[in-house]
Amino acid sequence: MKLRHAMVCSSNQNRSMEAHWLLKREGFDVASYGTGQHVKLPGPSLREPNVYDFGTPYKQMFDDLRRKDPELYRRNGILPMLKRNLSVKTAPQRWQENAADGTFDVVLTFEEKVFDMVLEDLHNRKHVLLKPVLVINLEVKDNHEEAAIGGRLALQLCQEIEAAGNWEECVDDLIMNFERQNHRKLVYSISYY
Amino acid sequence: MARDQALSLLAAANNHGDLAVKLSSLKQAKDILFSVEPSQAAELFSYLAELQSSPEPLVRKYLLEVIDDAGAKGSEHLVILFPVLLTFLKDNNPIVATQSIITGTKIFSSVLEELALQFQRRGIVQRWLEELWTGLIKFRDAVLGIIFEAGPIGPKLLSIKFLETFILCFTLDSTEFDMCNPEVIARQGSMFNVSWIADSHPILNPHALMSDANRHLEILLEILLSASKLPGCMTITAVNSLVAIARKRPVYYKTVLKALLDFSPSIEMAKGRHTVSIQYSLRTAFLGFLRCTHPIMTESREKLLKELRAMNAGDAADQVIRQMDKIMRNNERASRELQFSKDDQLSSQLHISGELTKKRTAQLDNENQNNIFEASSKKSRHGPHNSKTTTASDAKQDHVNGISAKPPVLDGDLTPVEQMIAMIGALIAEGERGVESLEILISNIHADLLADIVITNMKHLPKNPPPLTRYGNLSLNHPSDTSDPAQVVGSNGFATSTQSLDHLAQLPASSLSTTSGAVSDTFATANLSTDSKRDPRRDPRRLDPRRLVAPTDMSQTYVVEENVGTVQHPTVEPDFNPVSSSSVLLSAPQSVPEFAPQPLPTIETDINLPDSPMTIEVDEPIQKYEVHDFDANVITPDKDANNYLHLSPSSGKEEDVVSPASMDLAMLDEAYSPSSEASDELPPDIPNVEASESASAELPVLPLYIELDEDHQIRARRLALERIINKYQNSQRTDIKQTQIALVARLFAQIDVSDVIEMAQKLIISDYEEQKGHELVLHILYHLHSLVISDSASSAAAVYENFLLGVAKSLLVDLPASNKSFSRLLGEVPNIPDSVLGMLDDMCTKSHSGADGRDGDRVTQGLGAVWSLILSRPFIRQACLDIALKCTVHPKDDIQAKAIRLVSNKLYAVSYISNSIEQFAKNMFLSAVDQHSSDALLSESAISDRRIGGQVEGAETSTSGSQVSEPEISPDETMKGVLDDSSNIFSQAHRHMSLFFALCAKKPVLLQLVFDSYTRSSKAVKQAVHRHITVLMRALGSSYSDLLHIISNPPQGSEDLLTQVLHLLSEGRAPPTDLVVTVKHLYETRLKDATILIPILSAFSRDEVLPIFPRLVQLPLPKFQMALAHILQGSAHTGPALTPVEVLVAIHDISPERDSLPLKKITDTCSACFEQRTVFTQQVLAKALNQMVDRTPLPLLFMRTVIQAIDAFPSLVDFVMDILSKLVNRQVWRMPKQWVGFLKCISQTQPHSFKVLLQLPSPQLESALSKYPNLRGPLAAYTNQSSIKTSVPRTTLVLLGLASETQMQQPHAVSSLHASDGPTST
């Protein structure tokens, strides 16, 4: 049984894309989203982030930042990240606008706030299909190193869920085992499409 | 045709062996089924239904999909297929079971809808729908069974979801509150709910179904109760479903919320479940509720927030609330705009308020404005025709809010504080709905800003002193007469909002009649719209005594307004004064003629100020008032009467009513917090007071301003402070604390009573860390400091100093030394006065009275503080540095050690002070060398330090001066008394040098000074230097290289030191190459003292050692022995430079003449070697002798060594005999110096030596025997033995008297032969 996975962070750039990239490489059926209002990338200072709308192609951001300050954005890893992203998909997508993308079986979020937003969004959708969706939060700091670790953990988690067959039957054990093995705290919830 | 095809396909789906074929057949069959005529389809569907027994789960699942499609199409064939669902509920494959519930739920919804609509539209219900409904009820019961039966979890989750759907369908969808979000509304169509069902529906009984829904909700709640037995995901699903129900159907909200709240603590017990997620589901639930705008949910916000905070989700909750407030505000603004335009016309008719509005300046308090609006609008609308006091509150509230929400003068250039006030005002105007937001706003305002808001708002305080009675009624501990009913009413009217209404209602209503109604109305409005609506405990402003007035004075804002005007234009409007202003204003055309001017003077005149001379009125008037129904003239003295006269002709009664109230309040304020009057934060006060006084001459004088005497003021201030601080201690909430901190800081600034300071200190210290004492202290200090800066003449400086000193001392006394609070305090206070520095100095240098183990910690603490101050406070850097430096020469070892560690390890690394430190250390070192009085020196160094440090404040000069004299005098005086005691000199020198050597460890170049001054040092000082340098060199380790420069060029007289340094450097390890090179070079060029070579000898090779060997021998014996040890030790790489054998040979090779060494030195050296028997063993000696015996010429001391060898090791005798034989062969008699030794050896080793002796030619034998006559006898006896005699030459025998003379020739020949041989061999 092949599950559909969604990786969600706030800007659909770093954490979710790292996981998306890894899972895609491993042959998973996976998509990725952000829950923020905009796509935000670090700028020259904390107060001046680069803000884009969801749907702006990664390529466009890449060109934009390379034009602005290639040295800075190469050094802080933004350009390499964008390059990676544009090899995965065209543009960042917003979770709240993904109704057309169909249903997912497993949604992995990488931040509590994102988790809350996904759940609230799912709550507000009309539950027509009554298809259960497992939403799991795996807290990952928003930097390149942590994202790489988080991506691997996400992959492992998805593999375990996929291997379990019916996650409904064993989700508690699965989550607790994963926590024990990786010393990570997870939170899950169940919603419906 | 189609039928046959479908049948064959279905058969294939049922029987074919290949799953793929089955599925594709089924798929094709389905397509046909939905396209054939209904009559044919019925039969086919029943065939299809047979597939339910297919062994393939995928086939069964696909069958479900077909049913799903059929359901979506609303096909009546569902009746045929529906039983399949019931069967599949029990399917052993959970996926099939799950899918059947899903399909069933969908069909349930659509059938229900169809049922309701069909009846609505056509008045009938089709039969198949009826049948289906019966099936669905069965289905529902089966699904309910699944939840609690043992089985796979997947279907259970869907069962719960089915329950949710069921409940939602059969409850009234009364509101759309959950859909506050337009996005959501757009997305969701309207869903079926029970209201769609007509009451007369033949099948569906809405009431029965609703009660079913209630029962089902209980099942869901039951799941929560038995959560500990169920899997975690079921609990989470149940929680989520309950939340969905509660949000969509607010009727159930309370039930659900209660269940969830009760549920939370029991989660902990669950094992084998992911409790974190369950907990989180509650968090999500509560956050979800917060997002809802339904009144029932907003009501419980408080509870939800509390719960969320307990879950550490306070931030998330606040964020949600902010979002919601924003949305709400936007919604309200739209609706308000309409309302406002309407009410604006109304209010413009009111001249009073209109005028006020015009006069209002930007700096005015918007809060007041709003309330003016409220009051005035209310007057206009309700005043004239309100006959019942009780109508005051709710009904009007909305309207009032509508009016006042948009303060007309809100825009303009307001300061941040004024903007905040404006915002608070706006929120207050929102009434009930604004309270939440107001609370959030206030809790988010920074304490400083809040305090400023309060202070700013106080400008609008009324000048009229109100009676103290209200204060008493407010349950504060002022004694007051509460028995008076009128008084109670008046006070409560202010204090407790709606309560006042009740009270009023209970009053002798007839007497009060409409007027009193208006009064209470006004009061109530003012109060309702402000504080009282909030939970009073939560309002930080309540804790500010001054603030207490701010909300209540709104009811008489115009008084305030005029006061401000008076202050600003005293000359222009001289007749405007606080007291009269109300009347002046009120005499504006707006009047309400149908009401007789009936002021309520009693309220105002009922001043009952304990402890004050202001007890003007007594209870009596009130009695009269009650009895005589507003007989003002009777009640009041002429002042009041004047007032009324002035007021009454034209003013509306409300205004009259209001003005006493305002005075009431003002009085309260004064009494409660007199400090505010005295404070310079209220500059307008003074002119106002004057104005009012002058006015009182012509106008009725009301109880104006209570000039408390000094004692009262002080007492009241202290009281206020005490209360706040006590509250502070008990309160747990940080937001309140923030406010309290700011308030206490300001109060402090106005109080210079020392005992208050102490009291505060105690409280602050008692729980310094947890209770934010630190913040409080800093607030106070900064405030005091700002006063000092703004007014240098003020006494705040002294208060500041006292307070800081006090707090610092208490911190030291009360907290353990390891606590960082002290140092943090000093690091963060705005300014450090001298006295604190003095204390710090004492702390570091003086041991406190209790000489226990804590002292050391205190010193550490003090030094730690000094350290951080040096780093963080440039202004007192030098003073602190001086303290630290002084400690480095402290007579107490531990203090000194700590200080030195600090200075050398930490401070010296800091670039901007390293020079001062270095200079100080140098000075101290030199003083030790020159044995200056350290007293003189210290001050000298302090001065020089100051020169280096640049500008230092005068204050610090005095500090450092005192520091110099204080601690050092006593040790030095004792020192002088015993100055000639060298050990004392030593210890003093040692002490003064410590820092310098510690610095040398960091910067070895500094050692140059040590070398330079070494020569002139006294013995004791040298001793101290040696001791230090030992430690230093060991500490230096490999970083010696800086020393090479010094070593290569040592000053005259520092050889001892140099030697010691070299020793230490090569101690325990191979001397480093660069050191060896340097020392060698030094030896070769400048310093011909081999002593310096000793430490590095082990690194020398044989060829290097041999040339200098005589020089080593030349050294005093102990040094030679040391050198010898080094030579023999050698390096790990090359082995010893010389073996013991080689050493011996080398010693023997020394020629006294050539090497200009006295022979004695060499013999001593030799003897020294022999003493080391473990090194110079028998074998070593034998080997060395063996080597040397062949030398030509023989080493001078050879025979001496032989004799010593045989003395030391008698067992060497045979070996020595061989040597001697060799010597005989080498004609030892020709070497006079050796010959003596040879004979001595022969003599000493007899009788072993006889054999050798007999080898001597006769003349030599004869000379030997003549020299040692006692040999003759034993030799003759030995020779006479038959075995020997034969081999002995005849001449020898003759010589010994064993043979006759005749045989003498032959041995002669032999002897001559020997003689001729000798020279050739030599």
Cβ contact, residue pair A192, B236, below 8 Å:
no
Distances (CA, A) of B242 to A122, B489, B1213: 15, 48, 115
Q: Give the position of tokens 């006079």.
A: B1232
How many helices (H) does chain B have, and how many strands (E)? 69, 0
Cα separation, B83 vs B69, in Å, equals 16
Residue A55 φ/ψ, nearest 5 degrees: 100, -15
Q: Which residues are paired to A135 by β-bridges?
A: A107, A189
Strand ranges (E), B993-1066: none
Return d(Cα B352, Cα B1316) in angstroms, integer: 157
Task: Give the contacts of B964 (CB within 8 A, at least 6 positions apart).
Answer: B886, B938, B939, B942
Distance CA B752, CA B734 (A): 27
Instruction: Say what the pLDDT of residue A158 is.
Output: 93
Instruction: Please tell me the distance from the alpha carbon of residue B960 to that of residue B964, in angstroms, as a whole number.
Output: 6
User: Do the Cβ atoms of B624 and B634 come closer than 8 Å?
Assistant: yes
Q: Per DSSP, what are the bridge partners of residue B618?
A: none
Give the integer Cα–Cα distance in Å for A186 and B968: 65
Q: Are B153 and A168 in contact (CB < 8 Å)?
A: yes
Report the C-alpha gap between A135 and A187 in whole angstroms. 8
Q: By the CB < 8 Å criterion, does A132 face chain B?
A: yes
Closest CB to B187: pick one of A125, A166, A172: A125
Contact B553, B633 (CB under 8 A): no
Judge residue B987's burial from the number of C-beta atoms within 10 Å of its C-beta, 0-12 exposed, 13-18 middle, 19 or more buried.
middle
- The residues, ordered by sequence, that sit 6+ positions from B505 with a Cβ below 8 Å of its Cβ are B389, B390
Q: How many residues does chain A have?
A: 193
> Distance between CA A146 and CA A32 in Å, rounded?
18
User: Would you say B583 and B646 are in contact if contact means Cβ atoms under 8 Å apart?
Assistant: yes
Can you tell me the distance from the alpha carbon of B1171 to that of B1177, in angstroms, rounded to the nearest whole number? 10
Report which residue type is found at A11: S
Cis bond upstream, residue B508 (ω within 30): no
Answer yes or no: do A126 and B244 touch at CB < 8 A.
no
CB within 8 Å: A130 and B94 = no
Q: What is the pLDDT of residue B576?
A: 39
Out of B188, B273, B284, name the one closest to residue A172 (CB): B273
Predicted confidence at residue A157, as pLDDT, reads 93
Q: Rounded to whole angstroms, how far apart are CA atoms B365 and B541?
A: 16
Beta bridge partners of A136: A108, A188
Tell me if B751 sits within 8 A of B795, measured CB to CB.
Answer: no
- Chain B contacts of A192, Cβ < 8 Å? 161
Amino acid at B927: S
- Partner-chain residue, chosen from B154, B184, B274, that has the shortest CB–CB distance to A175: B274
The pair of structure tokens assigned to A6 is 């969604």
**H helices within B190-252, ranges in order?**
206-225, 232-248
Q: Check if A129 contacts B (Cβ < 8 Å).
A: yes
Cβ neighbours around B351 below 10 Å, total = 14
* Cβ separation B288–A186 shorter than 8 A: no
Contact A188 B274 (CB under 8 A): yes
Q: What residue type is B467 in one-letter code?
A: P
**Nearest by Cα to B1242 from B1264, B1272, B1263, B1262:** B1264
Q: CB-based burial of residue B190 (10 Å sphere; 0-12 exposed, 13-18 middle, 19+ buried)? A: exposed
Which residue of chain A has the CA closest to B185? A124
Pick the residue of B191, B228, B243, B280 with the most A CBs within 10 A to test the interface with A by mutation: B280
The residues that bridge with A9 in the sheet, in sequence order, are A34
Q: CA B377 to CA B346: how far, in whole Å?
A: 7
What token pair was written down for B507?
A: 């009053």
Backbone φ and ψ of B291, nearest 5°: -75, -15
- Which of B583, B720, B730, B574 minimizes the C-alpha distance to B662? B583
Give, for B517, the enclosing helix (H) or strand (E). helix B509-528
Residue B543 DSSP label: G
Instruction: Looking at chain A, list the stretches that DSSP marks H as alpha helix, in order from N- to C-terminal side.
Output: 15-25, 58-68, 70-75, 78-88, 112-124, 144-164, 167-182
Set of chain A residues whose Cβ sits within 8 Å of the Cβ of B101? 130
Q: Which residue of B has its CA nearest to A116?
A: B284
Residue B288 near chain A (CB below 8 Å): yes
Test mutation, B93, B147, B166, B274, chain A, max A CBs within 10 A: B274
Contact B42, B6 (CB under 8 A): no
In the numeric block, the tokens 């291997």 are attached to A163
**Residue ranges for chain B with pLDDT beneath 50:** 176-189, 345-412, 468-697, 849-853, 933-980, 1303-1322
pLDDT at A118 over 80: yes
Query: With an 8 Å Cβ cutoff, is A97 touching chain B?
Result: no
Least Cα distance to B144 among B220, B199, B81, B230 occurs for B220
Amino acid A122: pLDDT:
92
DSSP A40: E
Task: Say whether B152 and A171 touch across the interface (CB within 8 A).
Answer: no
Please spell the DSSP secondary structure of B352-413, one letter per residue.
Answer: HHHHHHHH--TTS-HHHHHHHHHHHHHHHHHTTT---GGGSSHHHHHHHHHHHTS-TT--S-
DSSP β-ladder status, A186-192 and A50-52: unpaired
B625 sits in the region (left: phi over 0; alpha: psi -120 to 50; else beta) called alpha
At B1097, give phi and psi (nearest 5°): -60, -30
Instruction: Say if the Cβ atoms of A191 and B240 lie within 8 Å.
Output: yes
Kindly indicate the confidence band of residue A161, based on its pLDDT and cuts at 50, 70 and 90: very high
The rounded distance, in Å, linking the Cα atoms of B614 and B606 is 11
Question: Which residue, B216, B238, B217, B214, is CA-closest to B226?
Answer: B238
Nearest Cα residue to B768 out of B780, B776, B779, B756? B776
The closest alpha carbon to B993, from B924, B918, B916, belongs to B924
Of A112, A129, A168, the CB nearest to B233: A168
d(CA B370, CA B423): 11
Q: Tell me which amino acid residue B584 is.
A: V
Tokens matching residue B823 = 């140092």
User: pLDDT tens digits, residue range B559-609?
Assistant: 334 444 333 443 334 443 444 333 333 333 443 444 444 444 433 434 344
Q: What is the pLDDT of residues A26-76, one digit of tens each?
A: 999 999 999 999 999 998 888 888 999 999 999 999 999 999 989 999 988
How far apart are alpha carbons B1138 and B1180 in whole angstroms? Answer: 12
Rounded CA gap, B397 and B393, in Å? Answer: 6
* CA–CA gap between residue B307 and residue B333 (Å, rounded): 31
Residue B679 CA, distance from chain mean position: 36
* Selection from A59, A67, A49 nearest residue A11 by Cα: A49
DSSP helix, strand, coil percent of chain A (3-state; round to 5): 50, 20, 30
